[in-house]
Chains A and B, each alone.
Chain A
Amino acid sequence: MARFADLTAANTLQLLVPLLILLIAFQSFTGERERGTLRQLLSLGIDPAKLAIGKVVGVLAALSLLLIPAGILGALALLGAGPGGGGVRDEFIRFGLLAGVYLIYFAAFALLAVAVSAFSRSSRAALGVLLAFWILNGLVAPRVASDVARERVVLPTNLEFRSAIQADVADGFGPHPSRAERQALLSDSILSAHGVQSLEELPINFAGISLQAGEEFANLVYDRRFGELYDRIRQQLEVHQRLAFLAPHLAVRSLSMALTGTDPEHHERYATAAEEHRRHIQRILNGDIALNGQYGQTYIADASLWSEVPEFSYEPPGIGWALAGQRTAGAALLIWVLLSGIIALVGAATLPRRV
């Protein structure tokens, strides 16, 4: 229940506002026809195309009564929440772009509704067609897209994934040898570099060196495997964007997540930065063990070591980066609004013949 009925700002804008548009606009032409006023309008010599545009503007004007206050509230809330990591300017550009995306989406819906109204024989038929579209586009498409993406791009199971990592670490991969060999190579090279015969004779603590070497190899493995995984997730999301040519809701969802920084891409960037920080801490700690510890003995450092560790700081990405992967979604949205416009104009043009 929660996942569907979650009334977030995004859901409201992506699902409920289009529904509202439909309910306002489905009778644009069929209502006129049923009331008998369509004939009068057309007899005045008004260009049907202008009539259609007028209807759309009317719908959007009615909508703006709701959306403009909402937009202002949203902007105020944004100001009140304080600047995010990227600064106030970045936030407002993202807000502006997001508003633009939604406006295009709503315009497309309004055009579509007016178009269907122009082509339909009755208000009832128009409403039926538009509701069906709303259901398929908003409720069914996201779920079907998930299924299609899953079929097309397969993610490994948890077991497969973890087993692969374990195997890579234990047995090596590509040019890298197995763990046993790596350890042997490491101790040999360190011993010969310092010209001694045993690990106890080293001027540094071999434990620190060995730990760090293990860390670095594991990092290689994780980067490889997680990189693959994230690439696949990215490919799945590209499938969603391509399907947006059939269901514009997918385009809006993708764009809104990218602009607000809540898509998997932003998360991966943050997670990677956190991981980098962790690795930095490991280097400091292991380095300290190598320098100050005694091989084979427990080593406890004092508080001054921790003061060497820097604070974690994260610089959120800019809009260019955020939108880089959204080209398909953007194109789909633009094509939808263009197509809707064309259909609306064509529909209006057929009106005189079907008064």
Chain B
Amino acid sequence: MKGPSHRLPPQDPTRPYVAGRTRGQRYALLTPFPFQASAVGQSDLIPPAVPVTLDGADPRGGREEIENPVHLLSGPLDLAFFVTFLLPLLALAISFDLLSREREGGTLALLLSQPVTLKRIVLVKVLTRWAVLFSLTAGAVAVAFLLLGAGFQLDRFVLWSGVVGLYLAFWTGLGGLVNATGGDSSRNAVALTFLWLFFAILLPAGVQITAGLLHPIPSRAEMVAIERGEIQEVQGEAEAVLTRFYDDHAEIMVDGSMNEADAQTRAFAVDQEVARRLAPLRARYREQLSAQQDLIRSMRWLSPSILAHEALLEVAGTGDARRDRFEDQVEAFHAEWLTFFTPRIVGEVRLTPDDLDLVPSWEFENERTLELAGGLLPNLLGLLLFLGLVTVVALRLLGRGEGRAVA
């Protein structure tokens, strides 16, 4: 006895194989939100919509948007870029001569004749500079988001401000530290430029290069070649595969249908066998991809710029953590998809309008604020550590230089 869908034309969308594979496919969407505007991250390279079909749900399989490759090369001018690379320069520009200017202008002696220590002077100067830059930056961003009218997300803004505040404090503190060494303005400027270069560019580049050398990205072309080999092998043993498939699904099979199996049911059986064989290969490929990512993440402690940049991307929802979360949910949704369609394909059930309500629907579960904050904790602590280090060293230098300050 053949099932009801057997007699339908091959491309009829009420055939479960057709519905699940081409005509009824769903898209898994990584839903955007307003604060995402603050950091583009990789979102211009990796599409946020993944087609989910019987064949699979490849996170990189979504259609990429058309873009000029040279534009992708330089990256976008987003807020995260500004905060990570340019804001420190601004901080250094206003702090590089906070003490040396007084000394060169002769006013330091005057200041110290008051009942105030050198430490106090530098501390106040650093704090005021930090306060000015921080309030201007945070204020401008808050106003921008309010003007955008798309929705002001207070929780994310607060977390963002925390990251920016700590990061900025590190840099203004660094300005104070270099001044505490007692050099002249020009020397301070050169020293701070080198420090910026070191923390913001050289260290991150070094980390990137090291991770790339230790965990090179596996060749996608090689992967495709291996997959093709598996597919051919499976197609060669199509009969055996079909038998095994029907054995596995005996309880939902339509009587006596194996020998007269629909072409589509056969194709489905072959597809599933191929997917089963490729699963370990694909898992290993994904592992290799994430190995590089993981290594970079473990080396982020080397530079406050890496810590800050990663945190900014997470708050904007364009970082790796949210992406991983999305890909896990896509995989789960794909499993649901297969669970819905497999018995209907094997049983050759014809889909009805009522089934539309039963077809799995995609709902992305965003992380909650507490989870986000928890994820940011290591970065915030790291930034705090750097800040602490700078403060300790600076205070030490200032304490020792007390006597020499006027010279």
Contacts and interface: CB of A to CB of B under 8 A. Distances in A.
Interface in B241-256: none
A155 B208 contact: no
A3 B63 contact: no
Interface in A1-42: 1-7, 16, 19, 23, 27, 31
A244 interface: no
Contact of B68 (A31, A127, A140, A236): A236
Contacts of B70: 146, 236-237, 240, 257, 263-264
A273 to B, nearest CB: 18
Contacts of A2: 208
Interface stretch (A156-164, A186-194, A295-303): A156-164
B197 interface: yes
Contacts of B93: 128, 131
Contacts of B306: 1
A176 interface: no
A4 B85 contact: yes
A5 B203 CA distance: 9
A63 interface: no
Nearest to A161: B66
B208 A23 contact: no
Nearest to A12: B205
A233 interface: yes
B178 to A, nearest CB: 14
A123 B68 CA distance: 41
Nearest to B309: A1
A6 B208 contact: yes
Q: Is the interface of B mostly helix, strand, loop or mixed?
A: helix
Interface string B213-229: 00000000000000000
14 contacts: A1-B208, A4-B201, A5-B208, A7-B206, A19-B197, A124-B186, A131-B89, A131-B93, A143-B81, A149-B68, A150-B68, A158-B63, A257-B70, A264-B68
Contact of A131 (B63, B67, B193, B201): B193
Contact of A155 (B68, B75, B76): B68
Nearest to B80: A1
A135 interface: yes
B58 interface: no
B205 A147 contact: no
A199 interface: no
Interface in A231-269: 233, 236-237, 240, 257, 263-264, 267
A27 B186 contact: yes
Interface in B38-75: 63-75
A144 interface: yes
Contacts of A123: 185-186, 189
B110 interface: no
Given A155-B66, A157-B65, A3 B189 contact: no
Nearest to B64: A158
B97 A124 contact: yes
Given A6-B205, A124-B189, A131-B193, A147 B77 contact: yes
Chain B interface size band reads: 35 or more
Nearest to B62: A158
Contact of A264 (B69, B74, B97): B69
B202 interface: yes
A7 B204 CA distance: 9
B8 interface: no
A157 B186 contact: no
Given A143-B77, A144-B77, A155-B67, 7 more contacts: A1-B309, A1-B310, A5-B208, A6-B205, A124-B97, A146-B76, A264-B68
Contact of B74 (A16, A142, A236): A142
B7 to A, nearest CB: 23
B204 A1 contact: yes
Contacts of A16: 197, 201
Chain A interface size band reads: 35 or more
Contacts of B310: 1
B74 A146 contact: yes
Contacts of B201: 4-5, 7, 16
Contacts of B65: 157-158
Contacts of A3: 72-75
B332 interface: no
A143 B76 contact: yes
B209 interface: yes
A159 B197 CA distance: 42
B406 to A, nearest CB: 20
B209 A7 contact: yes
B74 A143 contact: yes
B190 interface: yes
Given A124-B97, A135-B89, A150 B71 contact: yes
Contacts of A267: 69
A355 interface: no
Contacts of B202: 7
B86 interface: yes
Contacts of A7: 201-202, 205-206, 208-209
B86 A139 contact: yes
Interface string B299-318: 00000001001100000000
Contact of A4 (B64, B81, B186, B189): B81
Contacts of A156: 66
A124 B92 CA distance: 12
A128 B101 CA distance: 15
A229 interface: yes
Interface string B79-121: 0010001100100010001000000000000000000000000
A161 B67 CA distance: 12
A146 B71 contact: yes
A15 B75 CA distance: 15
Contact of B75 (A27, A131, A143, A236): A143
Nearest to A20: B197
A237 B73 CA distance: 13
The 8 closest A-B pairs by CB, nearest first: A7-B205, A143-B77, A5-B204, A142-B74, A3-B75, A146-B71, A123-B186, A5-B205
Nearest to B72: A3
Contact of B66 (A139, A149, A157, A257): A157
A149 B71 contact: yes
Interface in A90-112: none
